Amino acid sequence: MIGEQLRRLRTGRGLSLRALAAEAGVSATLLSQIERGVTEPSLATLRRLAGVFGASLATLFEDPSAPALWISRPGERSMLHGPRGQIGYERLTPGNGQLEVLRGVLHPGEATSDQPWSHASLECVFVVAGTLTAEVDGVRHAVARGEAITFDSRQPHRYLNAAAENVEFILSVNPPMP
């Protein structure tokens, strides 16, 4: 799905693989592999590509034929991968660009990004298992199983696992992050 949408966006703007690669700061070979479905891009790469198009990250996952009713089933969900494979998010919502709900698992010592980042959205994280450390605007908050944290995503933020066991969480973002 990402590959097809990326090709549509690229050709719609009249860009070659090399031109888009130069603007996004990635290789043309990587873009070709993404478009052909040979590899899955990292979140950092997806953010760069979305930035070139002046669009939200969710734009790369939009499906013009997304159904009005969606049932998300394990094994059938698309995945988003963080930089260096630090985290993989399962996409729980259809690609309609209105709401993004993701399931994430952080292993001990992992973080969603090396540095906090911000975007114009409202974010809510519900912890399913373990204790998540939410770093928001330089302050770390421990969010235990069954708890949720909601904040304005324009504040620099990231999620970490400082515990000895995996942490599983559900992340909701509205509007979907750029």
Q: Where are the alpha helices (DSSP H) in 28-151?
A: 28-35, 43-53
pLDDT of residue 178: 47
Contact assessment for residue 3 and residue 37, using Cβ atoms and an 8 Å cutoff: yes
Asked if the model's pLDDT at residue 32 lies above 90, the reply is: yes
pTM over 0.85: no
Return d(Cα 8, Cα 119) in angstroms, integer. Answer: 25
Range 20-41 average pLDDT: 92
Asked if the model's pLDDT at residue 86 lies above 80, the reply is: no
Contact assessment for residue 158 and residue 113, using Cβ atoms and an 8 Å cutoff: yes
Tell me which of 25-29, 83-87, 98-102, 145-149 is least confident. 83-87
| Chain segment 97-150, per-residue pLDDT in tens | 678 899 999 999 999 988 898 888 899 999 999 999 999 999 999 999 999 999
